[in-house]
A = this chain, B = another copy of it.
Amino acid sequence: MSDRAKQTAYLKVKEAVMERIRAGDWKPGDLIPKEEDLARDFGCARMTANRALRELAEEGVIERRKRAGSRVALQTGRNALFEIPRVDKEIEATGAAYRYRLLERKIAEPAALARSRLGLEPGEKALKLVCLHYANETPFQLEERWINLAAAPEAAAESFQEINPNLWLLERLPWSEVEHVVSAVNASRWAAERLEVPEGEALLLVERRTWNEAARITYARFLHPGRFYSLSAGGQR
């Protein structure tokens, strides 16, 4: 079940809020009490309530906006278990400097594979982006991404010169479903040149599809040279 260790005050608040959400007292989209009220109710300082809510927001349980207050996140799913990896954070977590570069941007009809992943009809167009993510000036990830303009029309107006597509999407479109497929491929000449590895080198390919109730949002292929992912899971449940 959940933590019974209600020793620290901010955890008490956090657990209590989660409990109300779990119980259905506060449903997705509902406004929850503001920090000040929570602090009063729990007899703690506002900073304590703040930390509880901040962590819940980081975990995706609630969404917060100034002036508008905190609401239970719409996506029923807990991002706590399945978070979308963020390249920039992963890289910075290793102590390396993160750099992003856009290689290509065009609006075109996707090839058959990408088209089916996005659920588009033949003839429909989408936004294609190709970009490179560097860790300390070394290519770390080559990204090939299609964005469904029907789901994210604002993308057509974004240059993606400065912000990476993943961040841009995360900030704008809530997803409710994600699928990852991981495989290994030999580097094509095209990929090898960009990743600065020998042709034929084994690359880790991660394909990701994201969608919500309304539409398929994006399909992306990430290519990584060498070692990459570390998935860890504790033994609960």
Contacts and interface: CB of A to CB of B under 8 A. Distances in A.
A81 to B, nearest CB: 5
Interface stretch (A122-130, A149-157, A174-182): A174-182
B230 A93 contact: no
Contacts of A227: 77, 181, 183
Among A76, A179, A205: residue with most chain B CB under 10 A: A76
Contact of A182 (B18, B59, B176, B231): B231
Nearest to A85: B80
Interface in A184-237: 184-186, 200-205, 224, 226-237
A169 interface: no
A164 to B, nearest CB: 9
Contact of A230 (B1, B80, B85, B88): B80
A166 interface: no
A204 B201 contact: no
Contacts of A78: 93, 230, 232, 235-237
Interface stretch (A36-44, A94-102, A104-112): A94-102
Interface residues of A, number: 66
A6 interface: no
A228 to B, nearest CB: 6
A92 interface: yes
A222 to B, nearest CB: 11
A203 B204 contact: no
A62 to B, nearest CB: 10
A162 interface: yes
